[in-house]
Structure 1
Amino acid sequence: MTTRKPVPVEQRHVYVQVVEGLLQHALHGQISPRLKQRLKQVGVDLDRPLLPVYPVSLWMHCLTIIAEETYPGVPREEAFRRLAEAHVQGYGRTVIGRAVYGVMRLLGPRRLVLRLPQTLRATDNYTEAELIERGPTTYEMRMNSAVDAPGYVEALFEGMLRVGGADSPQVTKTHADPAIPSSTYLLTWKDR
């Protein structure tokens, strides 16, 4: 991992483009009055300009609310997977996302994965990731975070790999420790 100064959990924030990608682009036209009200109650007022940063704890709570409201009756993991897929598409419509995805398409899956630590650092003020190559199309990624949204991170990385041209990407969480917090994912895809 790089040597960025560790950020205490209570000071971890996600940047506006992450929130914008989901709420203003991925869910454009799908935000019900009830969802809008629930988000406002927890601190995300969609009638005002988005803030430059949001506390991670707040954003994780928002993801749960959004999954419940957008995919009612859908099992929790599937709802988070669908939300992550929409988020990947929405992020690609932000100004920063268009630039990042343009580069991802040019890189291809292997070089995209090698750049994931830098890409992730552009989304928040704390993420550190370490990659270990396990094979030409298999990487282990260790991160200094653990997300309580089953399937969300996996689907997010699979979507990013698809943007980079990966064939049949599959991401599996192999370890998570919310107490530290940390998590490990195995990223694989088929060679073309």
Structure 2
Amino acid sequence: MTRRPRSVPPEQRQVYVQVVEGLLQHGLKGQVSPRLRERLRQAGVDLDRPLLPLYPVPLWARCMDIVVEEVYPDVPRAEGYALLARAHVEGYGATLLGRAVMGVMRVLGPRRMVHRLPEVLRGTDNYTEATLTERGPTHFELHLNSSFSAPGYVEALFEGMLAAGGAKAPRVTKVHDDGDSSTYALTWTPEP
């Protein structure tokens, strides 16, 4: 049975709680200053209360901007987003769902893990559709039905996921972005 693509209008796009929890409660453990906590609360994410099941994408994007501004103020923006993505992968792995996903990634290895990426991404929000094209044994293209404006974030996020799956020297490069969809080349060094 073929799944129908999720056609969710931009104003109804939301991320699931495990994405928010992974970054803010686990990935940034010990780095959430009182000022950052207050700025997030003013934006709409109150870390002193139980997290909501869903967060609108514009709100989540704003929170990520705030985190980069507060936690990585002395590095170029793209580097700050790359650091944020690495913290996010680690933090997501500390959530209940993330522990299971990361455990499976380690067992599968990079090739089989990449084949699972579309399914993994579906579990992060209510709108992402991903298609995968194999270009070679260690070269894939991942097409997303969305675009993310944070420079360096998606690349570092997927590199972190590939590394979690055991890929050696993972490299992710954006090859297309029209503001509505994006495509990334995912490569890594083959095992000798």
What TM-score comes out, normalization by structure 2 length?
Answer: 0.97
**How far apart, in 1, do the equivalents of 2:6 and 2:38 lie?**
36
> Aligned with 1:188: secondary structure?
strand
Q: Which residue of 1 aligns with 2:190?
A: 191
Q: Which residue of 2 aligns with 1:144?
A: 145
Contact in 1 for aligned 2:8/2:127 (Cα 8 Å):
yes
**How far apart, in 1, do the equivalents of 2:25 and 2:167 lie?**
27
CA deviation map 1:80-127 (0-9, x unaligned)? 000000110010000000000110001100011101000000000000
**How far apart, in 1, do the equivalents of 2:70 and 2:11 lie?**
27
Contact in 2 for aligned 1:2/1:128 (Cα 8 Å):
no
Q: Which residue of 2 aligns with 1:85?
A: 86
> Aligned with 2:15: secondary structure?
strand
Indicate whether 1:165 and 2:145 are aligned: no
Residue 29 of structure 2 aligns with an amino acid whose one-letter code is H
Q: Which residue of 1 aligns with 2:113?
A: 112
Structure 2: gaps (5+ residues): none
> Aligned with 2:171: secondary structure?
strand
CA deviation after TM superposition for structure 1 residue 4, in Å: 3.0
Q: Which residue of 2 aligns with 1:36?
A: 37
- Aligned-residue RMSD, C-alpha: 1.0
> Aligned with 1:37: secondary structure?
helix
**How far apart, in 1, do the equivalents of 2:18 and 2:178 lie?**
27
Q: Which residue of 2 aligns with 1:124?
A: 125
Q: Which residue of 2 aligns with 1:18?
A: 19
Residue 77 of structure 2 aligns with an amino acid whose one-letter code is R
Contact in 1 for aligned 2:6/2:128 (Cα 8 Å):
no
- Structure 1 runs (4+) greater than 4 angstroms displaced: none
What TM-score comes out, normalization by structure 1 length?
Answer: 0.97
Residue identity over aligned pairs, in percent, reads: 66
CA deviation after TM superposition for structure 1 residue 2, in Å: 4.4
Contact in 1 for aligned 2:6/2:129 (Cα 8 Å):
no
**How far apart, in 2, do the equivalents of 1:58 and 1:159 lie?**
24
Contact in 2 for aligned 1:174/1:186 (Cα 8 Å):
yes
> Aligned with 2:48: secondary structure?
coil
**How far apart, in 1, do the equivalents of 2:86 and 2:119 lie?**
21
Structure 1: gaps (5+ residues): none
CA deviation after TM superposition for structure 1 residue 177, in Å: 1.5
CA deviation map 1:51-85 (0-9, x unaligned)? 00000111011111101100012100000000000
Contact in 2 for aligned 1:140/1:186 (Cα 8 Å):
yes
Written as runs of structure 1 = structure 2, the 5 A alignment for 1:32-71 is 32-71=33-72
> Aligned with 2:4: secondary structure?
coil
